[in-house]
Amino acid sequence: MKLCILGGGGFVGRHLISLLSSRGHEVLVPCRHRDRIKPLLVLPGVTVTESDIHDPAQLRRLFTGVDAVINLVGILHGSEVAFRKVHVDLPAKVASACQEVGVTRLLHMSALGADAASRSIYQRTKADGERCVMSVPGLAVTAFRPSVIFGQGDSFLGLFAELLRLAPVVPLAGGHARFQPVYVLDVARAFADSLDDPETIGQIYGLCGPRIYTLAELMAKVGAVFGRSPLILPLGDAASYAFARLMEFKPGRKLMTRDNYFAMQVDNVCPEGFPARFGLATELDGVIGYLREASPRCNYDRFRRRAQR
């Protein structure tokens, strides 16, 4: 198939594009900074182009002649305006552009916990964006709601690994919050398998791994990978909120915000587990060693972000 993937330069996008390329698809990847996604350039069938995907005319041009569009664009931190632009306005523009140029298949990345009534703007806007695309006439849509995603290059367990290198004692906001982490290659497979599976049209799939962990348990697992037993101090509710507030003043990369705190108030789990039609979900214990394999290259994104390039 000929595919256009928005947000393809991110963590999930890189794994998904690599899988799609290995399955023989042609993939067009619009991005903001071509230099940032150099590793994709060498993949067979992958074309990278710098574009403004918020401009409807550019979207129409990108989607012309394409069989399916995949929208992975998302942010975890920002103002309400920024969240709305990325999670609601953009999906609406994507759906309209698909209609206008005759693309009939759209895969949409949402998030577990998406809820129009949530206190978290992230979760509210994810719900609104999902609603925008699910009911567009003539468009066959499948949406995915993963719990937190782990795998080579993630910024979740990867961040824990960085923190543990710095401190033997870690006060952990939201330490009791529960997640059901899902492996990035399982998420990629769910997207890739859905493309030509008519049964998935109109569905919203929760994507969760085989086990539920608290945040504190996940941090202990990361410590064990590096042979460390850090003292993890899960903070209570009031202290977690205060910590999140304090972290909002930290310049550069955000560790946590009050919006993340609100999102963590509800368990990020799916009782039905990983959908059977996409195969078996990978155990975290079986692959977590990827954290040790992080090469110096993995720091490049952090350096670029710090230099605002």
Ligand X SMILES: NC(=O)c1ccc[n+]([C@@H]2O[C@H](COP(=O)([O-])OP(=O)(O)OC[C@H]3O[C@@H](n4cnc5c(N)ncnc54)[C@H](OP(=O)(O)O)[C@@H]3O)[C@@H](O)[C@H]2O)c1
The amino acid sitting at 60 is R
Query: How far is residue 165's CA from residue 217's CA, in Å, rounded to a whole number?
Result: 17
Q: Which residues contact 267 (CB under 8 A, 6 or more apart)?
A: 177, 178, 179, 212
Q: How far is the CB of 181 from ligand X (least distance, A)?
A: 8
Contact segment (CB under 6 A) with ligand X among 28-36, 55-63, 193-201, 238-246 equals 28-36
Contact segment (CB under 6 A) with ligand X among 30-38, 194-202, 240-248, 275-283 equals 30-38
Q: Which of 72, 212, 196 is nearest to 143 (CA)?
A: 72
Helix (H) / strand (E) element for 107: namely strand 105-109
282 and 151 in contact (C-beta within 8 Å)?
A: no
Contact segment (CB under 6 A) with ligand X among 5-13, 43-51, 58-66, 100-108 equals 5-13
Contact segment (CB under 6 A) with ligand X among 4-12, 227-235, 241-249, 277-285 equals 4-12
82 vs 167, beta carbon nearer ligand X:
82
Q: If binding means CB under 6 A, how many residues of this protein chain bind ligand X? A: 22
User: Considering the rule CB under 6 A, would residue 41 count as an interface residue with ligand X?
Assistant: no
Query: How far is residue 25's CA from residue 41's CA, in Å, rounded to a whole number?
Result: 14
User: Considering the rule CB under 6 A, would residue 13 count as an interface residue with ligand X?
Assistant: yes
User: Considering the rule CB under 6 A, would residue 86 count as an interface residue with ligand X?
Assistant: yes
DSSP reduced 3-state for 304: helix
User: Considering the rule CB under 6 A, would residue 244 count as an interface residue with ligand X?
Assistant: no
Chain residues 180-219 in contact with ligand X, contact rule CB under 6 A: none
**Rg, C-alpha atoms of the chain:** 19
Contact segment (CB under 6 A) with ligand X among 145-153, 158-166, 211-219, 240-248 equals 145-153
90 vs 170, beta carbon nearer ligand X:
90
User: Considering the rule CB under 6 A, would residue 158 count as an interface residue with ligand X?
Assistant: no
User: Considering the rule CB under 6 A, would residue 109 count as an interface residue with ligand X?
Assistant: yes
Q: Which of 111, 87, 114 is nearest to 182 (CA)?
A: 111
8 and 27 in contact (C-beta within 8 Å)?
A: yes
User: Considering the rule CB under 6 A, would residue 149 count as an interface residue with ligand X?
Assistant: yes
Among positive and negative, which fits the CA dihedral 260, 189, 106, 4? Answer: positive
Q: Which residues bind ligand X (CB under 6 A)?
A: 7, 9-13, 31-33, 36, 53, 72-75, 86, 109, 111, 146, 148-149, 156
